[in-house]
Amino acid sequence: MNKYINLFTVTLIFLLFTVFSSWILPGLLLAGDLPYYFKSTFNDWSFMPYLWHLERGSGLGGSYSFFLWDHFLRTVPILALAKLGFGWEVIQRLVYFYPFLILASLSSFVLSRKVGLSKNTSILSILIFILNPFILMLVGGGQLEIGLAYAIVPLVFVFFAKILDEFSKTTLINLRNSFLAGFILSLEVMFDIRIAFIACVAVAIYFIVKFIASAKISGFRAVLIENVKLGIYFFLIPILVVFAIHFYWIFPLLLIRENPLTILGDSYSSSKAVEFLSFAKFENAISLLQPYWPENIFGKVGFMKPEFLLIPILAFSSLFFVSKTRDPRTKGYVLFFALLGLIGAFLAKGSSDPFGSVYLFLFNHVPGFNLFRDPIKWSVLVAVSYSILIPFSIWNIYGILSSKFKVQSSNVQFKIQKFIPNLFLILISLFLILLIRPALFGQLTGTFKTQIIPNDYIKLEKLISSDKSFYRTFWLPTYDQFSYYSYTHPLVHANEFLNISEPDRMVAKFNDREFQKTLSESAIKYVIVPYDSQGTIFLTDRKYDENKFNKITDDVSRVSGLNRLSGFDKLAVFERKDYKDHFWTTSDTLSLKYKYVSPVEYKVEVKNAKMGDSLVFSESYDSNWVAINDNIQINSKQYDKLFNSFTLLKNGNYELEVYYAPQKHVDVGLIISLITPVLIVVFLALSFKRNKSR
C-alpha cells in the first residue's frame, strides 16, 4: 500500500502546484473581491478595532460593528506584515493563499481520518475538497476570507464530533472538548460568519441524527435526560466561548441595537434578491458544478456539463457499501454525510425547483438565513460530504475488484486481470482530473492569473498620498481594483452614492446645483473615470467596451468646474477647486483647526466661537457622534440630510473632542475578548498535563 500512498501524494502535490502555480510563484494576484493595497494605504490602519469605517456609507463613513468579526485574522496580520516592510504581493500570499492551501489540506485529511478512512482515501479527500469547481470559483473570484472559512469547516465538525464521541462522566474531558470546539468555531467566525453558520447547521444535524439513533436503541426518555447534559457541552459552552472571544464587537452591537440587516442593505432582506441570485439548479448543486464554471463571470450561467453527473453517482454509491462496513463508526459517518450532502444540495439551489418556496420560507422566517441571499454558499456542505463519500466509494469498489481478480495461477490471463483494480484507480483519477481541466490548462481567471499595476494608478497614488489634507475622490461610475484610498482620502463610488446604475444619468447630475453643493460639502476634490484595466466596469454583453469609457470621459470633460489633469494616459482625473474640509462651518467668524486621532476620534480647536454656531462634520449622519468640552456633551444633529453637525453652546476659543460614543463599548469588550483565549489555553495546557501525569 505504501507505493500507492506515495503515488497519490506525488499526484496531489503535482495537481496543487499546477492549479495554484500563480499562488506559489511570484506575481500580483487580483480578483473582483480582492483589491490592491498600496503601501501608503496601511499608514492609517490600526491594530485597534474601530466601530466607524471611513469607507462605509458609499464613502461618507458608516458603522462597522457587524463587520469587525474578522479584525484579528485580517487587519492585524496584514498590518503587522506591512509594518515589517512587506508589500501587498507578499502579504496576500502569507495571509490568504498559503494558509488556505495548508488549512484545507490539513482539515480534510483530519476529517477523513476521523471517520475511519485509510491514508490513501484521505489523500483523495484532500483532492476533492480543494480541487472542485465550487471552491476554485470562490477563491478565484477573490473571496479568500470565505475560502479560509471553508478550509476549516471539516475541523469544526471534527472537534464537535469529539464532544459526542468522548462524552464521559469526567467533567475535565468534557470541558476540554467543549472549549476546543468553541475555540475553533471562534476562528471560523473570524474568517466568515456565514460559513460559520453553515458549519453550525452541519454539527446541529449531526447531533440530531445521533440523538435519533440513540433513542431507537435506549428509548426516547432515557436519551433525552442524558442529552440535556450533553447539550450543555455540545451547544451551550462552545457558544459561550464564541460569544466571549467575539465580545468586542457583539457587545456594542447589542447595546446600540443596530440591526445587521440595516447595515447590509435591503438586498439582504429581499426575497427577490434570492430569486435573482439562485443561478444554480439542483443538478448543478448536487454535482458541485458552480454555475459560472469556468469563466467565473457574474450572471453568465453555463449549460449543465453531463460528465459532472457522475460525481453524485460516485458519492451516493457509498450507500451500497455501508452494510459491508465492519466499523460501526464509519458506517454512521457515511450515512450522516450522505444526508448532509443532500441537504446542502437542496439549499444551494436556493429558490430554484424543486420546492424552491422552502428556501424562500427559510430566508424570510429563520434567523441567520438572511445572510444567504446567494444560496450557492451552501455548497460547502456538499463539498465536505463528497470529500468523504467519493473516496469511500472508490476504495470500496477497488477492494471488490481486488478480491475478484486475485492471481490464482501463472496464466498470462490472470496476470493481466490483477491490473484491473489498478486500472480502475487510474481511470477514475483521470476522470476526476478531467473535470477540472480548465484549471490545469490555465484557463481560470481572477487570482489564477498574475497582474501588473497600471502605471496610471501608480501616478495617482503618488499624487494623492503626498497630499496630507483631507478630501475624497469620486469614482464614476465606480472604483477599480487599483483605486487608491486611505482614511485621509476616502473614495466615493458614484453608483452607490447616487443609487443610479446608468453612467449617463450620473453625469447628468453634475448639471444640478444641489448636487454640486453636495459634492463640495462632501469634500470631493477629484472626479475620476477609472481605467478599467480588468475589463469589469464598462461592459456590453459582458465584454469590455472601450466606447463606453470614451463616452463617459467625454461627457465629464464637458462639465463646467472640472479641470482634467495631464500626465495620465488612460485614467481620466478631473479636479474640483470648490470643496470643503472634513470639518467646516457655516459661520463667517468661526475658525477651525482639527487633528485626526483615529476613525472614531478627532480634536477640534475652535476660535471666535459664538453660541449657536454650527460645526459640520462631513461623515454620514449618526446620532452616536458627540462633541465634548469640559464635560459638556453636544449631540450630533443631521445637516443637509447627510452629515453630522454640532451646535456650539458657548462663546470663545476652546477644544472639542469629537468622538463616536459606542467605541467605549468596544474598549470594554476587547478586554474580555483578549482574556478569554488566554484562559482557555491555560486550562487546556493544565488539563493535558494532568492527563499525562496519570
CB 377 within 8 A of CB 305: no
Size (the chain), residues: 694
Q: Which residue has the cell 442524558?
A: 226
**Residues with Cβ < 8 Å from 553, sequence gap 6 or more?**
529, 572
Helical H segments across 522-564, by residue range: 546-557
- Residue 646's DSSP bridge partners are 615
Sites in the chain below the pLDDT cut of 50? 1, 412
Q: What is the pLDDT of residue 1?
A: 47
* H/E segment holding residue 159: helix 153-165
**Residues with Cβ < 8 Å from 305, sequence gap 6 or more?**
289, 293
- For the chain, state the CA radius of gyration: 29
Residue 273 grid coordinates: 434578491
Pairwise CA distance, residues 497 & 482, whole Å: 20
Exposed e or buried b per residue across 396-422, where buried means at least 16 C-beta atoms within 10 angstroms of its C-beta: bbbeebeeebeeeeeeeeeeebeeebe
Element counts in the chain: helices (H) and strands (E):
30, 20
CB 609 within 8 A of CB 593: no
* H/E segment holding residue 228: helix 220-231
**Residues with Cβ < 8 Å from 558, sequence gap 6 or more?**
none
CB 345 within 8 A of CB 289: no
The amino acid that residue 350 corresponds to is G
Pairwise CA distance, residues 569 & 534, whole Å: 16
Pairwise CA distance, residues 441 & 113, whole Å: 32
Q: What is the pLDDT of residue 277?
A: 85
3-state SS of 463-510?
Answer: HHHCCCCCCEEEECCCCCCCCCCCCCCCEEEHHHHHCCCCHHHHHHHH
Q: Give which of 454, 31, 40, 298 is closest to 23, Cα–Cα.
A: 31
Pairwise CA distance, residues 609 & 656, whole Å: 12
Tell me, yes or no, if the pTM score tops 0.85.
Answer: yes
Q: What is the pLDDT of residue 5?
A: 53
659 phi, psi to nearest 5 deg: -140, 140
Pairwise CA distance, residues 19 & 94, whole Å: 18
Kindly compute the dihedral angle of the four CA atoms of residues 487, 493, 494, 496, in this order, to the nearest 10 degrees. Answer: -110
Q: Give which of 507, 505, 466, 512 is closest to 489, Cα–Cα.
A: 466
Q: What is the pLDDT of residue 682?
A: 92
